[in-house]
């Protein structure tokens, strides 16, 4: 029976070629515009670390007061005072402080000139927390943090440059003129977005490549390494770094913090702890406002900071509305197509076809058109993604890829969309009164 309905659908499509072609082309364009945008959107909003993201949280503490916060939200970064307090309290299973910064790199290899490289000042937990893969060696021990040790972890890329890719663990490099021992070399690791740093960077830098050098947070502070950005509650918002110690313990927000919390109970406990901490600071007179703290999960944090590029979310929005308009259009065209066949329905009904049979026939007809639209849609989607390289910035376009699920989704969306838009026209067709329809046609 199903095969017969499909054959009927094809035959009726052949009879009204122009109308069918119009429906198929509209569908294909609507669906493929949606899927191309979705492919980009998916690439820019996807979970950068699926294995861990559910347990990673960002604590925020308002240390500048309601007059300096935006919409009552605590600043994105912590002050050094608060960051170190949270870290030393050790209330989570793992925790790290971090900030992006820049180093001048030299090695004993004289043939490699001094380079300026970026990276992060982090703590020992950074590597296990974010599941950072190592090629050689490992991260440093918690003890190294406490001792402000001269240890470093470098990227595979930098290792290629300095040591031609050999195992360089135990070797020495000079960062800003100071000698550091290499504890580990990372394997390829370039999460997109660079999620661990997004609170410390501007939104436009969220899709930049990961840095090349990681050293202990405590050591970086000793070396007076400033963060890339600092928000200070001064008139200009700029930092005054003349007196490093005064700057360090000022209310300038410049440190990012992450905690790993395994269970909802842990999350609740940590949230309470943050609240208590801010309350304690209020009692001490440092904050003259009630506790204003947040604890956001990684995915919420990305959504809150609006990491997704504007071009990507706008195109998703516009292509979704395009598909909606196409569907309204298709409903109208399907209605025209089915109503034209009222005599045929009348005869089928008179010969004993039930309403359900009419429903089945027309919905299958809708689905058949949907499949054809979907196949054309896949072709257009592939073309669109191929062309998206010239539409989006290279660092975004590079993330976009086609996979089986995208192609499946394209076809499914096309079928679902056509069947949905065939529902009302089918209902109208099924309402055909057999007797009346036959009478007026005779």
Partner 1 sequence: MALTRTFMQLRPVVVALGRHKVATALIVLQVALTLAVASNALFIVATRIVHMSRATGTDEAHLFVIRNKWTIGQNTSRIDANIRTDLDALRHVEGVRDASSSNAAPLLYAYSVSPIPTRVKLVPDQTTRPQFAMLSFADAHTIDTLGVSLVAGRNFRPDEVAAIGPDDKQAAPVVIVTRSLADKLFPGSSALGKTIYLPDGPSTIIGILARLQGPLSWTRSSDGDNVLIPARHVDPQGVMYLVRTDSTAMKPVIAATLKALQERGSVRIIDPKDDVITLYQARERIYASDRSVTILMSIVCGLLLSATAGGIVGLSSFWVGQRRKQIGIRRSLGATRGDILCYFHAENLLIVGGGIALGIVLAILTNLGLMKAFYPMSRMPLYVPFLGALLLWLLGQLAVWGPARHAAKVPPVVAIRAE
Q: Which residues bind partner 1 (CB under 8 A)?
A: 18-19, 22, 25-26, 29-30, 33, 104, 113-116, 176-177, 202, 204-205, 235-238, 240-242, 309-311, 313-315, 318-319, 321-322, 324-326, 328-329, 331-333, 335-337, 339-340, 391-393, 424, 428
Report the 10 Å Cβ neighbour count for 246.
Answer: 10
Q: How far is the CB of 283 from partner 1 (least distance, A)?
A: 31
Residue closer to partner 1 (CB basis): 4 or 249: 249
Tell me the CB-side half-sphere exposure of residue 39, using CA atoms within 13 A.
Answer: 30
User: Where do the H-state alpha helices sit in 164-263?
Assistant: 217-222, 244-248
Q: 141 or 318: whose CB is closer to partner 1? A: 318
**Residue whose CB is less far from partner 1, 96 or 231:** 231
Closer CB to partner 1, residue 79 or residue 308?
308
Tell me the closest approach of the beta carbon of residue 134 to partner 1, in angstroms.
27
**Shortest distance, position 243 Cβ to partner 1, whole Å:** 9
Beta carbons of 211 and 99 less than 8 angstroms apart = no
Q: How far is the CB of 126 from partner 1 (least distance, A)?
A: 24
What is the smallest separation between the CB atom of 310 and partner 1, expressed in angstroms?
6
User: In the complex with partner 1, which residue's Cβ is closer, 42 or 91?
Assistant: 42
- The pair of structure tokens assigned to 330 is 């298709």
Are the CB atoms for 212 and 107 separated by under 8 Å?
Answer: no
Residues 221/52, Cβ–Cβ less than 8 Å: no
Rounded Cα distance, 175 and 114, in Å = 10
Nearer to partner 1, 166 or 306 (CB): 306
CA distance 164 to 242: 40
User: Is 185 or 323 the residue whose CB approaches partner 1 more closely?
Assistant: 323
Task: Tell me 133's DSSP state.
Answer: -
Nearer to partner 1, 29 or 217 (CB): 29
Residue whose pair of structure tokens reads 């590597």 in the numeric block:
127
Give min distance, CB of 123 to partner 1, in A.
25
Nearest distance, CB of residue 319 and partner 1, angstroms: 6
* Pair 228, 65: CB distance under 8 Å: no
Q: Any idea what DSSP says for residue 210?
A: P
Residue 289 CB, nearest approach to partner 1 (Å): 21
**CA angle, 52 then 54 then 57, to 5°:** 95
> In a 10 Å sphere around its CB, with 0-12 CB exposed, 13-18 middle and 19+ buried, how is residue 283 labelled?
exposed
- In the bound complex, what is the minimum distance in angstroms from residue 288's beta carbon to partner 1? 20
- Report strand pairing: 115-122 vs 213-216: parallel
Cβ atoms of 270 and 295 closer than 8 Å? yes
Which residue lies nearer to partner 1 by CB, 2 or 386? 386
Q: What are phi and psi of 91, to 5 degrees?
A: -90, -10
């Amino acid at each position: 029976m199903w095969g017969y309905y499909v054959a009927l659908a094809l035959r009726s499509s052949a009879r009204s070629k122009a109308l069918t072609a119009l429906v198929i082309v509209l569908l294909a364009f609507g669906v493929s515009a949606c899927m191309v945008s979705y492919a980009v959107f998916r690439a820019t909003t996807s979970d950068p670390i699926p294995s861990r993201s559910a347990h990673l949280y960002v604590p925020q503490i308002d240390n500048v007061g309601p007059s300096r916060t935006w919409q009552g939200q605590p600043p994105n970064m912590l002050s050094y005072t608060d960051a170190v307090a949270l870290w030393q309290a050790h209330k989570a299973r793992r925790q790290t402080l971090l900030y992006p910064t820049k180093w001048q790199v030299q090695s004993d290899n004289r043939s490699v000139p001094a380079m300026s490289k970026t990276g992060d000042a982090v703590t020992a937990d950074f590597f296990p927390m974010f599941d950072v893969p190592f090629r050689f060696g490992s991260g440093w021990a918690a003890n190294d943090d406490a001792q402000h040790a001269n240890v470093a972890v470098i990227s595979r890329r930098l290792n290629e440059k300095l040591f031609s890719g050999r195992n360089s663990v135990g070797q020495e490099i000079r960062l800003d003129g100071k000698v550091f021992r290499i504890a580990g070399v990372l394997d390829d690791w370039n999460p997109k977005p660079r999620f661990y740093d997004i609170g410390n960077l501007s939104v436009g830098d969220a899709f930049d490549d990961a840095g090349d050098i990681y050293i202990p947070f405590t050591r970086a502070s000793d070396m007076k390494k400033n963060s890339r950005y600092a928000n200070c509650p001064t008139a200009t918002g700029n930092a005054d770094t003349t007196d490093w110690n005064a700057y360090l313990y000022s209310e300038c927000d410049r440190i990012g913090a992450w905690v790993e919390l395994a269970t909802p109970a842990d999350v609740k406990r940590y949230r309470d702890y943050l609240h208590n901490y801010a309350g304690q600071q209020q009692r001490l007179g440092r904050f003259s406002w009630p506790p204003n703290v947040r604890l956001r999960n990684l995915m919420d944090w990305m959504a809150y900071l609006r990491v997704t590029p504007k071009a990507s979310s706008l195109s998703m929005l516009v292509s979704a509305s395009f598909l909606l308009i196409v569907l309204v259009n298709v409903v109208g065209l399907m209605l025209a197509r089915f109503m034209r066949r009222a005599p045929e329905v009348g005869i089928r009904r008179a010969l004993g076809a039930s309403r359900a049979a009419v429903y089945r026939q027309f919905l299958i007809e809708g689905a058949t058109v949907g499949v054809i639209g979907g196949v054309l849609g896949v072709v257009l989607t592939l073309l669109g993604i191929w062309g998206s390289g010239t539409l989006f910035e290279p660092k975004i376009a590079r993330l976009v890829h086609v996979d089986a699920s995208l192609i499946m989704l394209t076809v499914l969306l096309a079928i679902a969309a056509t069947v949905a838009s065939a529902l009302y026209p089918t209902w109208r067709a099924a309402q055909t009164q057999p007797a009346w329809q036959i009478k007026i046609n005779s």
